[in-house]
Structure 1
């Protein structure tokens, strides 16, 4: 199996092509490839498939074998891969995801990839959409778990996200596991601990559903900016500092734009037998 290892702000992925859909159990495959001792090592795999509604389709499988409908850092890497492989000749690529079709706008200089901006689409605070077992929106709501009080804000940003605001040093990222598995969230949730630096800058560390602690989470960074803006902590354009680097997020007319890096780490062959 040919593969390409990529990363976006430290969130790493294995890109494989499956245009003929010959890989049936992507969950088992992802667990094997993503194992950092016996496989290649990654937070998840990105599978390239044909699309009937967009230019190309991206399927995301987490390191634990679970399906993810969307991944912000992953889609930037995916867009770079598709552009450089010339599967799509335009600098504007429509990518089918589990969260609908996303538009990737490639920044090119002298024919070379320099960056990408993704229109992540709309966010949703409706508990039914997240999903969350709540009769009202979860905005700065007290959650008593793990012998600790957390004040959480939850929304759907492609995938479920819960944000806890405060000083980052007051929280260990592994505390996110307890919130992830809380009965409030029947399909679990990603958890982002967020510190407000000023009106235009925040710091975020993330516990990802299905992956654990990661150096960055694109959808989580978007969700944190949306939640911070909803609570009046920030403006609509925010620099997000994550352990793996910096993402730039902007809210425009109810939609979220995300700009950040994507890099190819190495290419190779994996022996599947």
Structure 2
């Protein structure tokens, strides 16, 4: 069968988008992984289905590049909002359902602002912070992030004896550039490589930076693929609410592929 698809990217974090409002997509894990493969398929960090959901504008279903259904993806969420907007499913604001619960978002021609879920129970350690921002994230600060061995060290942490048995974690390496200004590189589980950007990752890095430096949002984050901003409020010593991930989300192309 021929599959019609769209390709979107948010600061270089790229996704295969499928309009599945008729719920005809039933590909296997192996087929999803092949579609996401950068040599034998379309190539992407993940695949996202846009579906109808009663009481919401739409539902987002996200698959990692390895074909497994994933946890929340921030840039993927922003790209899904742009996709739904391009399809005429809403005008300026959307209310949608993802794997971690309801989200609200707004879209302008330049930016998509996505409200993330509240964050509770930040774990602080001497060498790193750990939290769940819709996906689990390990955050460590470094002096020169461009020199970091993101893949080697990230993979080692992702599979170590603490995180490996729990399904692994995403790993973020963070450099402070200036007040309210970070540079971040991320190793993503499910992709099993460094990605150009990670929305839930930069969210975790900003919250960690607030705990370390007392910064108030919005904080600007430089990623390999571009610039994002995160705004937030702190509701308790280790709890955050009103978290917004803000940045561009762009349609790249569309096409068909033989499944």
Taking structure 2 as the reference length, the TM-score comes to 0.90
In structure 2, the residue corresponding to 1:121 is in which secondary structure? coil
* TM-fit CA distance, 1:170: 4.7
Deviation at 1:25, TM superposition (A): 4.0
Change (3 A) 1:116 1:169: closer
- Within 5 Å, which residues of 2 pair with 1:1-273? 1-88=3-90, 90-107=91-108, 113-125=109-121, 138-141=123-126, 151-167=127-143, 168-174=145-151, 175-185=153-163, 186-211=166-191, 212-232=193-213, 234-253=215-234, 254-255=240-241, 256-272=243-259
Deviations 1:90-146 (A, max 9, x none): 311111100111111112xxxxx3321111121122xxxxxxxxxxx53134xxxxx
- Conservation of the 8 A alpha-carbon contact between 1:162 and 1:190: yes
Q: Say whether the 8 Å CA contact 1:248–1:260 is kept in structure 2.
A: yes
Query: For 1:221, what is the secondary structure of its paired residue?
Result: helix
Contact 1:238–1:248 (Cα < 8 Å) also in 2: yes
Deviations 1:170-204 (A, max 9, x none): 52111101111122221210000001112210000
Q: CA RMSD in A?
A: 1.5
Residue-by-residue CA offset, 1:46-99 (whole Å, 9 max, x unaligned): 1111112421001110111122221111111111110111123x3111111001
Secondary structure of 1:67's match? Answer: coil
Distance apart, 1:18 and its partner CA:
1.8
Q: CA separation of 1:233/1:202 partners in 2, compared to 1, >3 Å: closer, same or farther?
A: farther
- State whether residues 222 and 258 of structure 1, in contact with CA within 8 Å, keep that contact through their aligned partners in structure 2: yes
CA distance in 2, matches of 1:56, 1:266: 22
Number of corresponding residues: 246
Q: Contact 1:26–1:61 (CA<8 Å) still a contact in 2? A: no
Distance 2:30 2:88 in 1: 29
Which structure 1 residue ranges, 5 or more long, are not aligned? 108-112, 126-136, 142-150
Gaps of 5+ in 2: 235-239
- Quickly say closer, same or farther: Cα 1:79–1:158, change in 2 above 3 A: same
Could you say what secondary structure the match of 2:41 adopts? Answer: coil
| CA distance in 1 between partners of 2:52 and 2:18 (Å) | 13
Counterpart residue number, 1:144: none
Structure 2 distance, partners of 1:31, 1:91, is 33
Q: 1:41 offset after TM fit, Å?
A: 0.5
Query: 1:6 deviation in Å?
Result: 0.8
Q: CA deviation at 1:26?
A: 4.9
